[in-house]
Amino acid sequence: MSAESTEKLVIRRMLLQDLDEVLRVEHRAFTAPWSRAAFLGELVENRLARYVVAELDGRVVGYGGLWMILDEGHVTNIAVDPDFRGRKLGEKLLRTLMSMCASSGGRKMTLEVRVSNTVAQNLYRKYGFERVGLRKGYYTDNREDAIIMWVDLPPMDSVKAGGELI
């Protein structure tokens, strides 16, 4: 991604009006996509949920979400439209979620990732996530196993005022 196009990237809170675009990304990114009802439930009913979108030139090209449970964040999903992969958007979304968690008092984060998704695993390891277990048959589309990963977050004084990790 060039410096010029990076300036046009906005990561912001997901709104109900984003759902059509979020669902487009969801269906392009995953073999077992979430439904509109699932996202509605997350945005309207789940008080633990925090979701953001990555918007490039006014178009939603990715999103990420987490649940804040006491002092832990559980990443629910990170998705980037396949046409926009390789531009570090997933990394920016992960960093945003980590910052949101830390600024909400989170001390740790966890997630599950497909055993076959080595690109995502490498990203998570880059940010300190470590493999701690395996969920057998976790994914409903093909019964693929999920690797469970955890990271200890830096203390709040390592988070900039804008919410980004230093």
Q: Which amino acid is at 37?
A: A
Residue of 112, 127, 130, 139 marked active site: 112
Residue of 21, 51, 63, 124 marked active site: 124
Give catalytic status of residue 112 as yes or no: yes
**Quick count: other Cβ atoms within 10 Å of Cβ 97?**
24
CA distances from 161 to 53, 102, 138, 158 (A): 20, 12, 37, 10
Residues taking part in catalysis: 112, 124
